[in-house]
Amino acid sequence: MMQTIYYDLRDTKGQQKEIEEKISAAAKILREGGLVGIPTETVYGLAANGLDPVAVKRIFEAKGRPQDNPLILTIPGQQWLPRFCKDIPPLAYVLARKFWPGPLTMILKCRKDVVPDIITAGLDTVAMRCPNHPVTLAIIREAGIPVAAPSANTSGRPSCTTAQDVLEDMDGKIEGVVDGGPCTVGVESTILDLTCDPPRLLRPGGLPLEALEQLIGPIAVDKAVTGALAEGEQPKAPGMKYRHYAPKAPVTVVTGAPEASARVIRQHVGPTSGVICFDEYVDLFKEQKVQPLGPSGDKLIQAQRVFDALRAFDSSDVTEIYAQCPDNRGLGLAVSNRLKKAAGFHVIEADSLRVVLGITGGTGAGKSSALQAIEDLGGVVVDCDRVYHQMLAEDQEMRNAINAVFPGVFRADGSLNRQKLGQEVFAKKERLDKLNNIVYRFLIPEIQRLVGEGDGLYAIDAINLLESGLDGLCDRTVAVTAPMELRVRRIMARDDITEQYARMRISAQKSDEYYRTKCDCELNNAADTPEAFREEARLYFKRLIDSIKEEKSHG
Ligand code: TXA
Ligand code: MG
């Protein structure tokens, strides 16, 4: 094992002499046929003298890289292009002027003879890149040679976005590593093939497709970018055929609107799962190991985080990984491509259909466990009683409307005099109806707002579901019922009350018969324990939801 020298060049504003010495030392290693880990704006590279086949061969050995996978030739500017390619289309200069130095790699025709076979794996084309990192540009200029520089990871592992990642994979196998700080882009360069017309995107990367198309018009997107290739099918970029970026545990990517994909992941995870999710959903996965991918709306951060997130699970004992995934716009195409490749294109599309269930039923029947089962399925439960009380305290319009009919029920300090309101409506059916009409008029739009318009599963929990008109917001209403004797015993135990009082509480409410006949479906709870019922309810709701979705997708 050799000793890998670490050069700290994170701060290039300090001691100029010291900085120049480190740059010269790295350049010297490269000139002499050694390997150096170098920073770029995308990911760290593993550099060798690109004109020296013996040095380049060592890259393949250090990475464990298949020999048929060509390398990118890294140069400090477009002026170097004619040294390595014979026939450079004007478009290459148009692109270089606009995007170099930067995360764009161009495939050009007709490499010159100085470029060794081993770089291009025998192809007649060559990949050229000019990275946007001052340290690496200085090293290459100082060395005076182009460098072959694939990503610095061991083949198959996630790419390296810090010098520490490089050491993790390459310590003892290479002469040096130059630390230029964490990579600002975080995913590799965009590879554009200019040997065909229209140009073809071979690998999405740090430069968004949209930015390229804005400058040069339509671009073809290679099939390997978005999907798995069929057995034996050859991608244009040989590297795209390998399972890449893969952590040790198998990865499943879940696409779709963030709320929907988060819910789907919730349905799948167990205690040994790892989760890569947008920052907003971290709290959903308290039992799992989580790597946040950044805010769902910030693809710059997602690109910076994606490899680190994948890599981080290798030092944990998770048995499987679920990952949320951004849409394909902008940098999202590169982020989702890296995640999907890490997953071997094992992708679940989060259902984009929305289901609203109304859950009702009398005391002791098991409504709470049923609602927990809905949460277990990733659903959002809206508790109407809580919303109602909050509105009583805060919704001035509703308070005014109540006060107009029941003057004086609000005290001078604004609080509700419950006793007074109770007396007003107790045993006077028309007065109670009046109050309810006011309440429902304000409550329904608020509940409608809370169940939103987004995809996913929602449950409305309301004792007055049917009388209030809230059932109109639901795809199905479900009555939770239970045998009378079981209900009595449950309430006695739960609330520590006498049998007589328990029976009185039940008979003061609407009967199971009422709920059973008015609701669309019934979930009867004869289970021995709340846990057992919760599990039964989960299976029941899962089937119900599937059938609703089935209906909707064919309607
Ligand atoms: O951002 C980047 O491009 C990073 C940093 C280190 O510069 N480098 C990088 O290199 O990602 P690497 O070797 O990990 O990926 C290069 C990809 C491979 O998929 C390879 O097959 C493809 O470029 N490639 C190289 N030469 C090619 C050629 N002549 N034609 C088609 N694809 C080529
Ligand atoms: Mg790579």
Establish whether residue 40 lines the binding site of ligand 1, counting it when its CB lies within 6 angstroms of any ligand atom.
Answer: yes
CA distances for 78 relative to 111, 144, 306, 505, angstroms: 15, 14, 30, 83
Dihedral angle computed from the Cα positions of residues 488, 489, 492 and 494, in that order, rounded to the nearest 10 degrees: -110
**Which of the ligands is closest to the CA of residue 42?**
1
Residue 50 Cβ contacting ligand 1 at under 6 Å? no
Domain membership flag for residue 13: yes
> Which residue minimizes the CA distance to atom 21 of ligand 1?
239
**Ligand 1 pocket test, candidate residues 46, 73, 105, 147, most atoms within 8 A of CB:** 105
Give the amino acid at 188: E
Q: Which ligand is closest in space to the CA of residue 149?
A: 1
**CA-based nearest residue to 56, from 98, 119, 11, 112:** 119
Q: How far is CA 52 from the centre of its chain?
A: 42
Nearest CA among 377, 337, 430 for reference residue 541: 377
Short-list 402, 387, 382, CA closest to 473 = 382
Q: Please give the Cα distance from 74 to 133 (Å, whole number).
A: 12
Q: Ligand 1 centre and the CA of 363: distance in Å?
A: 65
Q: Using alpha carbons only, what angle is made at residue 362 by residues 371 and 430, rounded to the nearest 5 degrees?
A: 120
What DSSP character marks residue 111?
B
Q: Which atom of ligand 1 is nearest to the CA of 152?
A: 6
In terms of domains, do 513 and 540 share one? yes
Distance (angstroms) between ligand 2 centre and the Cα of 201 equals 16
Last residue of a domain, one of 209, 225, 241: 225
Select from 295, 321, 349 the last residue of a domain: 349
Q: Which atom of ligand 1 is nearest to the CA of 123?
A: 29
- Alpha-carbon distance values, 244 to 68, 189, 240, 255, 484 (Å): 15, 15, 8, 19, 59
Distance (Å) from CA 146 to ligand 1 centroid: 15
Per-residue model confidence (pLDDT) at position 347: 85
Does ligand 1 lie within 6 Å of residue 258's CB atom? no
> What CATH number corresponds to the domain at position 26?
3.90.870.10
Q: Answer yes or no: do 487 and 536 share one domain.
A: yes
Task: Please indicate, yes or no, whether residues 108 and 169 belong to a single structural domain of this protein.
Answer: yes
pLDDT tens, per residue, the chain with 555 residues: 899 999 999 998 888 999 999 999 999 999 999 999 999 999 999 999 999 999 999 999 999 999 999 999 999 999 999 999 988 999 999 999 999 999 999 999 978 889 999 999 989 999 999 999 999 999 999 999 999 999 999 999 999 999 999 999 999 999 999 999 999 999 999 999 999 999 999 999 999 999 999 999 999 999 888 887 777 778 788 877 777 788 889 999 999 889 889 988 998 899 999 999 999 999 999 999 999 999 999 999 999 999 999 999 998 999 999 999 999 999 999 999 999 999 998 888 776 578 999 999 999 999 999 999 999 998 899 999 999 999 999 999 999 999 999 999 999 999 999 999 999 998 888 999 999 999 999 999 999 988 876 678 999 999 999 999 999 999 999 999 999 999 999 999 999 999 999 999 999 999 999 999 999 999 999 999 999 999 999 999 999 998 888 777 654
Does the CB atom of residue 166 touch ligand 1 within 6 A? no
Same domain, yes or no: 133 and 9: yes
Residue pair 7/44 in contact (Cβ under 8 Å)? The answer is no
| Ligand 1 atom at minimum distance from 69 CA | 21
pLDDT value of position 454: 66
Write phi, then psi, for 347 (nearest 5 degrees): -125, 135
Query: Does the residue 187 lie in any domain?
Result: yes
407/513 same-domain check: yes
Of the candidates 150, 16, 136, the one whose C-alpha atom is nearest the C-alpha of residue 77 is 136
Ligand 1 contact, 548 CB (< 6 A): no
Reference 455, options 345, 356, 346; nearest CA is 356
Give the DSSP H or E segment for 397. helix 396-405
Q: How far is the CA of 513 from the centre of ligand 2 (A)?
A: 65
Q: Are residues 370 and 300 in the same domain?
A: no
- Domain end point (choices 294, 326, 349): 349
Whether 149 lines ligand 1, by a CB cut-off of 6 Å, is: yes
pLDDT at 212: 97
Q: What is the value of pTM for the model shown? A: 0.68
Same-domain pairing of 27 and 169? yes
Q: Locate the ligand 1 atom nearest the alpha carbon of residue 153 and give its number.
A: 14
Judge whether 258 lies within some domain. Answer: yes
Q: What is the CATH number of the domain that holds 484?
A: 3.40.50.300
Same domain, 455 and 505: yes
Parent domain of 339:
251-349
Residue 159 region, left (φ>0) first, then alpha (ψ -120 to 50), else beta?
beta
With contact defined as beta carbons under 8 Å apart, do 521 and 479 qualify? yes
Written in H, E and C, the secondary structure of 412-425 is CCCCECHHHHHHHH
Rounded to 10 deg, the angle between the 367-376 and 530-554 helix axes is 60
Query: For the packed helices 384-394 and 429-451, what is the interaxial angle rounded to 10 degrees?
Result: 100
**Ligand 1 pocket check: which of 44, 183, 188 to mutate, most ligand atoms within 8 Å of Cβ?**
188
14 φ/ψ angles, rounded to the nearest 5 degrees: -80, -140
Distance from the Cα of residue 84 to its chain's centroid: 41
Same domain for 343 and 437, yes or no, is: no
Total number of domains constituting the chain:
3
Residue with the nearest Cα to atom 13 of ligand 1?
150
In a domain, 90, yes or no: yes
Residue 470 lies in a domain: yes
Same domain, 340 and 375: no
Count the residues in the chain.
555
* Measured distance CA(8)–CA(28) in Å, rounded: 16
Q: Is the CB of 189 under 6 A from ligand 1?
A: yes
Residues 341 and 413 grouped into a single domain = no
Index of the ligand 1 atom closest to the CA of residue 44: 6
Whether 120 and 101 map to the same domain: the answer is yes
Instruction: Give the number of other Cβ atoms within 10 Å of residue 369's Cβ.
Output: 21
pLDDT of residue 555: 46
| Closest C-alpha residue for ligand 1 atom 17 | 239
Task: For residue 307, give the CATH number of its domain.
Answer: 3.40.50.11030
Type of residue numbered 192:
L
**What ligand is nearest to the CA atom of residue 156?**
2
- What was the pLDDT predicted at 13? 87
Instruction: Let me know: does 168 contact 4? Beta carbons within 8 Å.
Output: no
Pocket lining: 75 vs ligand 1, CB cutoff 6 Å: no
